[in-house]
Chain A
Amino acid sequence: MKILICIKQVPEITDVTINPETGTLMREGVASILNPFCEYAMEAALGLKRQRRDIELVAISMGPPQAGSALMRCLEMGADRATLLSDARFAGSDTWATALTLAEAIKRIEGDFDLIIVGKQAIDGDTAQVGPELAEILGLPGIMYAVSVELALDKKRARVKREVENGYEIVEMRLPGLVSISKGPMIRSVSSFQEILDARKKELRVLSASDLELDQDKLGLHGSPTQVVEIFPPRVKARGELIDGSDAETATEKTISFLREKRFI
């Protein structure tokens, strides 16, 4: 059985700031990490692999050459091999072009998969679109916002618990299919020295658009139906009153009169 994990490398966004003069993103010196939701997707896949020894876990990403380090992290966590789709012609892809590139690559090199697991969204774009788009392009059923995934004994079906607005749903689908993962352990596990050594022995191949014989018109910025026309810093709300709460009683009084003034009580 083969499970594909599609992952993304993202900047540690809490560090991203805007250059006030040019209005552009200052990304220098910002650390790159494996997107946390992709890490949860890896955890979910590893959970399945621990139950079934015959599962092959393949991590795939599209990104610049340095995104290889996010795939290396997947190999350290326990993926069996990894493929990076990297080409200057992929740059500027929106979610549709990204999903299309991943889908075409998967069809060409890993077409015999049983299940695709992705993180529900990446913390830089936060669109949550690539998962459903990938499922649609590959003609797969999909279950989004999963918190747990189980495989039927015959491995022909998956049973997924997923978040919905007022609770959870348990949904089944026939495989092959796609699942997006919403939740996982908050603490990032650190790879052991042995895991790092083992990961270096695993295959991490890099493929270009030409290697995959992709239709150039549908790649990158040129192939993206959406175009960014302007980037600007968000409006900042004027700061309100700040009071010292070391004297709890006075602070409480002030809060009560504020609530009264605003007619909440």
Chain B
Amino acid sequence: MLKVGTDRCTGCRICEKICPFGAIAVVDKVAQVQANCTLCGACVSRCPAEALSIDRRRASEEELRSFSGMFIWGECEEKAGKLIPKKVVKELLSQGRRLSDKLGQQLSVVVLGDGRLTGLDTLIACGADRVVRCRHRLLSRFTSEGFTNAVSALISKEKPSVFLFGATPHGRELAPRVAARLQLGLTADCTGLDIDEKGHLVQTRPAFGGNIMASIVSPYTRPQMATVRPNVFSAGEPDSSRKGRIEDFEVALSQTAIRTKLVGVEQLADESSVGIEDADIIVAAGIGCRKKENLALIQELADALGGVTAGSRAIVELDWIPHTKQVGQSGLTVGPQLYIAVGISGAIQHLVGMSSAKTVIVINKDPDAPIFKVADLGIVGDAMEIVPMLIKKLKK
């Protein structure tokens, strides 16, 4: 239960404002916990007097079994004034469906946003049994504190056994916040998910830059939480005959809960342009392209094939391309039909980011470059000589 250290409590009312359920009332300058407290923990770390605490101990087998159902965070992006679920959500749904069927449990998606939320029927077509919609003006754009409050509140009420997030920049901030608040095990960037004979979620991920794979379980905490990189799993075909329901989840949020303030944005790409995570054809450049000016050739090759350009971490650090085009462990994971790597040596961190590509062509001078290991067609030669010829031929 939520304990109030009455000797410490100063009656400042921050907890009262923070509580997503309105379950705390300050009476006679002391916080009082009401019966509708769900132990979501939103108040604990925000108490300036450290007067609030929740004793979370390891759950017994019986308590673990009381957690049931699988949840996916239905992250949305803004397009043409609407909030629409991202592609990664559909990828998670195809995995989630398989795992839910194995567990014999319900699959739900939670979407956070405001009145602009649209396209939620697609989530049902993609495999969800239930869409939980949480609308609030303070959820109109992502803030880690606002979203953490809402998701933790939902978990405390719904008690699911599994919760999956896309390992997008926002997902990689939200999931650890929720995990820390509820004291849950969390595995980042999973490339494989399965259910073992005990019903635990087995989460497989690369470690040491992709040199090894590790399988991880969270045996004592529920929900079992994991993030999954975009493009690691493929989305299934939507089935519009699937039945499901959309429900609303009410959450009380106050401005006090959110201590960060957006003061400006710099967009490097407009909404209509295809990002590398969604591209079917990618031409990626590395340090072997020798100078920034040569990237014009890479762009020309991409244009000739109807694709987009990307690059390695090395050239992002040199400011040849922005971080929004970086492929690899510390950048984005891509899964195009065709990936052409030009002058990229292929550090293991880069390979982790592009190993979902269906077909890979490599052009590199160094026959020992590790990237040749993943090539379907490898050309040992001078990229700056071959690429212009390719462009010429393609344009004919």
Which residues of A come within 8 Å of B, CB atoms? 11, 13-14, 16-18, 25, 37, 94-96, 99, 120-121, 123-139, 141-145, 159, 163-174, 177, 182-183, 185-186, 224-234, 236-237, 239-246, 248-249, 251-252, 254-256, 258-259, 262, 264-265
Residue of A nearest to B373 (CB): A239
Considering only residues 382-396 of chain B, those with a C-beta below 8 Å from chain A are 382, 385-386, 389-390, 393-394
Q: Decide yes or no whether B379 CB sits under 8 A from chain A.
A: yes
A95-B186, A166-B267, A170-B263 in contact; A262/B338 too (CB < 8 A)?
Answer: yes
Pick the contact of B381 from A37, A232, A245 — CB < 8 Å? A245
Q: A127-B188, A226-B185, A248-B381 are in contact. List 6 more A-B contacts (CB 8 A).
A: A167-B267, A224-B185, A231-B214, A236-B373, A240-B377, A264-B337
> Interface-forming stretch among B5-13, B26-34, B92-100, B168-176?
B168-176
B372 and A234 within 8 A (CB): no
Q: Decide yes or no whether B23 CB sits under 8 A from chain A.
A: no
A133 vs B378: C-alpha distance when bound (angstroms)? 43
A35 CB, min distance to chain B CBs, angstroms = 11
Chain B residue contacts of A16, Cβ below 8 A: 208-209, 211-212
Would you give 20 A-B contacts (Cβ < 8 Å), ordered by A?
A123-B349, A126-B188, A129-B172, A132-B173, A166-B268, A168-B265, A168-B266, A170-B264, A173-B261, A177-B259, A226-B217, A228-B216, A230-B214, A232-B213, A244-B380, A248-B386, A254-B377, A255-B390, A258-B377, A259-B338
Q: Decide yes or no whether B63 CB sits under 8 A from chain A.
A: no
Residue of B nearest to A30 (CB): B208
Q: Decide yes or no whether B207 CB sits under 8 A from chain A.
A: yes
Considering only residues 340-396 of chain B, those with a C-beta below 8 Å from chain A are 347-349, 355, 359-361, 363, 367, 372-382, 385-386, 389-390, 393-394
A171 vs B143: C-alpha distance when bound (angstroms)? 10
A113 CB, min distance to chain B CBs, angstroms = 15
A233 and B212 within 8 A (CB): yes
Q: Decide yes or no whether B220 CB sits under 8 A from chain A.
A: yes
Chain B residue contacts of A126, Cβ below 8 A: 188-189, 206-207, 209, 329-330, 349
Residue of B nearest to A235 (CB): B213
A136-B180, A173-B259 in contact; A167/B314 too (CB < 8 A)?
Answer: no
A137 vs B148: C-alpha distance when bound (angstroms)? 13
A144 vs B144: C-alpha distance when bound (angstroms)? 10
A168 vs B213: C-alpha distance when bound (angstroms)? 32
Chain A residue contacts of B376, Cβ below 8 A: 240-241, 258
Q: Decide yes or no whether B72 CB sits under 8 A from chain A.
A: no
A133 vs B172: C-alpha distance when bound (angstroms)? 11
A39 CB, min distance to chain B CBs, angstroms = 12
A142 vs B188: C-alpha distance when bound (angstroms)? 19
Residue of B nearest to A132 (CB): B176
Q: Decide yes or no whether B294 CB sits under 8 A from chain A.
A: no
B323 and A138 within 8 A (CB): no
A18 and B211 within 8 A (CB): yes
A245 and B220 within 8 A (CB): no
A99 vs B142: C-alpha distance when bound (angstroms)? 23
A106 CB, min distance to chain B CBs, angstroms = 13
B262 and A129 within 8 A (CB): no
Q: Describe A's contact surface by its main secondary structure.
A: mixed
B226 CB, min distance to chain A CBs, angstroms = 10
Chain B residue contacts of A144, Cβ below 8 A: 144, 169, 172-173
Q: Decide yes or no whether B221 CB sits under 8 A from chain A.
A: yes
Q: Decide yes or no whether B184 CB sits under 8 A from chain A.
A: yes
Residue of A nearest to B181 (CB): A136
Residue of A nearest to B394 (CB): A265
A139-B45, A169-B264 in contact; A129/B179 too (CB < 8 A)?
Answer: yes
A171-B262, A186-B318, A239-B375 in contact; A246/B180 too (CB < 8 A)?
Answer: no
B218 and A170 within 8 A (CB): no
Q: Decide yes or no whether B254 CB sits under 8 A from chain A.
A: no
Residue of A nearest to B267 (CB): A167
Residue of B nearest to A161 (CB): B266
A132-B144, A241-B378, A245-B382 in contact; A172/B261 too (CB < 8 A)?
Answer: yes
A264 and B375 within 8 A (CB): no
B267 and A136 within 8 A (CB): no
A210 vs B151: C-alpha distance when bound (angstroms)? 36
Output the residue of B185, B212, B262 with the most chain A CB within 10 A: B212
A167 vs B322: C-alpha distance when bound (angstroms)? 8
A172 and B260 within 8 A (CB): yes
Q: Decide yes or no whether B70 CB sits under 8 A from chain A.
A: no
Output the residue of B265, B318, B348, B349 with the most chain A CB within 10 A: B265
A13 vs B181: C-alpha distance when bound (angstroms)? 31
Flag B159-178 by CB within 8 Å of A: 1 or 0 each.
Answer: 00000000011001101110
Chain B residue contacts of A143, Cβ below 8 A: 260
Flag B75-87 by CB within 8 Å of A: 1 or 0 each.
Answer: 0000000000000
Q: Decide yes or no whether B269 CB sits under 8 A from chain A.
A: yes
A183 CB, min distance to chain B CBs, angstroms = 7
B176 CB, min distance to chain A CBs, angstroms = 4
A169 and B265 within 8 A (CB): yes
Chain A residue contacts of B46, Cβ below 8 A: 139
Pick the contact of A165 from B186, B305, B324, B338 — CB < 8 Å? B324
Q: Decide yes or no whether B187 CB sits under 8 A from chain A.
A: yes
A114 vs B66: C-alpha distance when bound (angstroms)? 42
B259 and A174 within 8 A (CB): yes
A129 and B188 within 8 A (CB): yes
Q: Decide yes or no whether B132 CB sits under 8 A from chain A.
A: no
B199 CB, min distance to chain A CBs, angstroms = 14
A226 and B218 within 8 A (CB): yes
Pick the contact of A239 from B183, B264, B372, B381 — CB < 8 Å? B372
Chain B residue contacts of A256, Cβ below 8 A: 390, 393-394
